[in-house]
Every structure is written in C-alpha cells, then in structure tokens.
Amino acid sequence: MRRAPWTWVVVGGIATLLFVAGVDALRSSADDEASAPTASTTTTEIPSGSLPSCTQRDLRVSIEIRKGVASVVARNTAAHDCYRLLHISRLTIEDRAGNLVAELRDGGGSVSLTGFFPSDSERAFWLLQQGVLECDLPGPYLALATIGPYSVRRGNLSASEIGCGGTFATRVSPLRAKYIARADAICTAASDRLRAAEPKPGAKLTELEELAGWSKAAARASKRAIAELRTLPPPKADRVAVKRVLSFMERLPRVLRRLAAAASAGETARVRILAGERIRLTHRKDELLHRLALLWGALPDALQGCPVSMLA
C-alpha cells in the first residue's frame, strides 16, 4: 500500500468509500428485503431545480463513529427534502503530540457527498479507507475537516477508528480474498463502461436528457455485471448470503430502466419518485455489502462498487 504522499492516500480512501449509511426515512422494511450480511462517479441524481437548496441550517454535519469507524455524517434536520453537494476541501488527522498523520487538501472540491437529502435522512462515509495508515502512536487522534461551509472536528479517536494498522484487511481468508478480487474486477470494468457512456463535455443536454442517458447506461452496465457475478462461485460457506445480495442487486437495473423511461418522457414527478427509489435501493445494497465485508474481515470498498459504482 502506498504510504506517501498522504494526500493521495486520503483521496483514494474517501473516493472509494462506499459506507453510505441508509437512514430510517429511506429504509422501508429493510429486514424483509434481505437478511444477508452486509465519492462520486456521476452527479446526476434528480433535476436539482426541482428541490430547494439545503441551507446551512437544514444540514447538521459531524464526525461520528459508525460501525467502529470515524465517519463524516450529514443529516437533514429540516421538514423538507433538499439538494446540496458537499465538498471536502480539507481533512487532517493529528496524533496526540500534534504531528500530522494524514492530510487532504482539495482545492478543486472533487470529493463530495451526495446532493439529495430527503427530510430526516442522513448520509455517512468513512474519513479514511481502513488499513492505509501506519501510526507510530496508539492515540488518541484528532480529526478536523472542512466540508462545504461546515468545519467539524472529533478528538479522542483510537487507531482502529481512523484505520491504522490494516484492521480489516488482515483477517480475510484466501478463498474470500480471491472471490472479492474477481468480483471487484467485474464491477470495476462495469463502472468503466458506465463512465465511457456518460455525455461528453460540452454536450448540450437538459438535465432530464442527461439523466435518461445515464440511467439507461447504468442499467445496461449493472445487468451485465450482475450476470457475470452470478457465474462467479463464492466460497461454499457464503453461497446463500451472496445469492441473497445478488438477488437484491437485480432490483437496481429494473428501477434504472423505469427512471430512464420517465426522464425521456419528461415526467418530472415520476422521475423524483423513481430517483428516490433508486437511492433507497443503492443505500440498502451498500449496507448489505458492508455487512458482508465486515463478516469476512475485508475492505468494504471493493464490494460496494458492485454492480457498478454510482452516487447514492
């Protein structure tokens, strides 16, 4: 694992984090949907003009511990849905002596949290990819981040909470590691195909036209990736869990095709409903894959890029 410069380690960690937490408002009957264990590639969600912009009072941003990992959490405390992209412009991790352990400076604002915030919902992602840091001191550590107009901090963090020492990657079995590597290759290829199908810079498309084209491409890429994953044999002990996750994944292409049709027809109300459904399914899928990765002792980001990497 490359250890320097730390800016790129942090960018890589954040950009691949797929710990997008589903929220109570977005999860309906989640336990009934699947019982298996459990950034952005596009900024297209729903037409941003159809939602009010999230004000600084609407969103509460903090650094919290989620599943044992220090994570940025943004919560919409307003009584209405809103839209806002939150960019990380700076992140630093310091040890107890004040020494810099990791730093991200992103003047271009390329690292972002999803822009669609339903009322009483939250989105979360890890500060750092697990296992990328080697820390000389056991802690405590201090994390400070500038995210859009928000400045947040959290102290008294342990080494495991900021990802020191490869806390996940050291426990994965060889059979599971082989399966994850092959699944990651399938999903990475699918994500590359999706990016290649995105509108070229300068294309004169409306938001609905862009959404329709992206949804069609995402549906095709997802369907192909899922078919390839179906042919990939998981470890024998994990077959039932993996089968359930794949069955849940198959809901995504269907919703994406319906979303593309609604956007092509200019049905903005239906677009909003289906975009919300697509987001809810993506959140639930990411949660299931995250749990599966934790069960295996693996890094969640490779699995959570399946069937394709998309903004949730």
309: in domain: no
Amino acid 165: pLDDT: 56
Amino acid 145: pLDDT: 87
Q: Are residues 182 and 86 in the same domain?
A: no
310: in domain: no
The answer to whether residues 17 and 129 touch, using CB atoms and an 8 Å cutoff, is yes
Helix H or strand E segment including 71? strand 69-76
Q: Are residues 147 and 195 in the same domain?
A: no
300: in domain: yes
pLDDT tens sequence for the chain (312 residues):
333 333 333 333 433 333 333 333 333 333 333 333 233 333 334 444 567 888 888 999 999 887 778 888 888 999 888 888 777 788 888 887 788 877 777 643 334 565 678 888 888 777 765 545 666 666 788 988 888 888 999 988 887 788 775 444 445 788 898 999 999 999 999 999 998 887 776 678 888 998 999 999 999 999 999 999 999 999 998 999 999 999 999 999 999 999 999 999 999 999 999 998 998 888 888 888 877 877 787 766 667 789 998 765
108: in domain: yes
311: in domain: no
Helix (H, G, I), strand (E, B), or coil: what is residue 219? helix
36: in domain: yes
Q: Could you give the CA distance from residue 241 to residue 208 in angstroms, rounded to a whole number?
A: 37
1: in domain: no
Q: Are residues 157 and 185 in the same domain?
A: no
Amino acid 183: pLDDT: 93
Scanning 72-173, the segments in alpha helix (DSSP H) are 159-162
Looking at the structure of the chain, the number of domains it has is 2
Q: What is the pLDDT of residues 230-245, one digit of tens each?
A: 999 999 989 999 999 9
Q: Are residues 107 and 150 in the same domain?
A: yes
Q: Are residues 137 and 53 in the same domain?
A: yes
Q: Are residues 141 and 187 in the same domain?
A: no
Q: Are residues 99 and 242 in the same domain?
A: no
Q: Are residues 244 and 288 in the same domain?
A: yes
Could you tell me the residue range of the domain that residue 42 belongs to?
A: 6-162
Q: Which of 162, 192, 209 is where one domain is finished?
A: 162
Q: Which of 136, 162, 188 is where one domain is finished?
A: 162
Amino acid 301: pLDDT: 67
Q: Are residues 154 and 235 in the same domain?
A: no
Q: Are residues 191 and 136 in the same domain?
A: no
Alpha carbon separation from 199 to 261, 266, 309 (Å, rounded)? 18, 19, 17
3-state helix, strand, coil in the chain (%, to 5): 40, 20, 40
143: in domain: yes
Q: Are residues 155 and 179 in the same domain?
A: no
Q: Which of 132, 162, 192 is where one domain is finished?
A: 162
Q: Are residues 113 and 197 in the same domain?
A: no
